[in-house]
Amino acid sequence: MVVARKEKTAGPVGQSVLRNDVLEKATGAAVYTDDIQFGPGLLFARVKRSPVPHGILKKVDVSKALALPGVKCVVTGKDYPDLMGLYLKDRATFAVDRVRFIGEPVAAVAAVTEEIAEAALDLIELEIEELPAVFDPELGAQKGAPLLHPDLENYVHPNFIFPEPGTNISNHFKIRRGDVEAAWPKCAAIVETKVRVPHIQHVPIETHVAVALADDKGKVTLWSSTQSPFAQRAMLAKTFHVPESDMRVIATYVGGGFGCKAGVTMEAIPIALALKVKGHPVKFRLTREEEFYTNFVRQGLILNLKVGCDKDGNLLAMENTMYWDGGAYTEYGVNVTRAGGYSSTGPFDIPNVKTDSICVYTNHPSGGPYRGFGMSELHTGLLQVMDMLAEKIGMDKVEFLKKNVIQGGDTVATGMTMHETGIKECVDKVAAAIDWGKKEAPTAPNKLRGKGIAVMWKAPAMPPNAGSSAIVKMNSDGTLDVSIGGQEIGQGTFTAMAQIAAQTLGMPYDAVRVSGPIDTKYSPYEWQTVASRLTWSMGNAVRLAAQDARQKILNLVAEAWKEDPKDLDIQDGVVISYKSEESIPVKDFVVYGLPKENDQGWIGGPIVGTGSFMPTYVTGLDPETGQGPRAVVHYTTGAQAVDIEIDKETGRLEVLRAAAAFDVGKAINPDLVAGQIEGGFVQGMSSAMFEGAMLENGVWRNPSFVDYRIATTMDVPPKIDAMFVETAQDDGPYGARGVGEHPMVPTIAALANAIKDATGVRITNPPFSAEKIYLALVDAGIVK
Partner 1 sequence: MSLHRITLKVNGSTEIVDVPGNWTLLQMLREKLALTGTKNGCASGECGACTVIMNGDAVNSCMVLAAECEGAEIITVEGLSKEGQLDALQKFMIETGGIQCGFCTPGVLLSAKALLMRNPNPSEYDIREALAGNLCRCTGYNRIITAVQKAAAVH
Q: Give the closest residue to 471 by CA, choosing from 454, 451, 486.
A: 486
With helix as H, strand as E and coil as C, how does 126-188 read?
Answer: EEEEECCCCCCHHHHCCCCCCCCCCCHHHCCCCCCCCCCCCCCEEEEEEEEECCHHHHHHHCC
Q: Which is nearer to partner 1, 39 or 394 (CB)?
A: 39
360 close to 169: Cβ distance less than 8 angstroms = yes
One of 319, 377, 726, 741 is an active-site residue; which one? 741
Q: Where are the beta strands (DSSP E) in 446-500?
A: 447-458, 468-474, 480-484
**Sites of contact with partner 1 (CB under 8 A):** 18-19, 21-32, 34-35, 37, 202-207, 253-258, 287-288, 489-492, 671-672, 674-675, 678-683, 704-706, 710-714, 716, 718-720
CA distance 217 to 287: 32
Q: With b meaning 16 or more CB within 10 Å and e meaning fewer, what string describes 74-96?
A: bbbbebbeebbbbbbbbbbbbbb
574 close to 583: Cβ distance less than 8 angstroms = yes
Q: Give the closest residue to 52 by CA, choosing from 123, 101, 124, 16.
A: 101
Q: Which is nearer to partner 1, 253 or 457 (CB)?
A: 253
CB of 438 to partner 1, least distance (A): 24
CB of 111 to partner 1, least distance (A): 15
CB of 479 to partner 1, least distance (A): 21
Within its chain, how far is the Cα of 578 from the centroid?
46
CA distance 500 to 507: 10
Instruction: List phi, psi (to 5°) of 414.
Output: -90, 0
Pairing between β-strand 189-197 and β-strand 169-177 as defined by DSSP bridges = unpaired
329 close to 85: Cβ distance less than 8 angstroms = yes
CA distances from 387 to 148, 232, 352, 604 (A): 38, 42, 19, 64
| Residue 377 appears among annotated catalytic residues | no
CB of 775 to partner 1, least distance (A): 26
Q: With b meaning 16 or more CB within 10 Å and e meaning fewer, what string describes 700-739?
A: bebbeeeebbbbeeebbbeebbbbbbbbebebbbbbbbbb
CA distances from 525 to 253, 263, 538 (A): 17, 15, 10
CA distance 758 to 620: 45
Annotated catalytic residues are 741
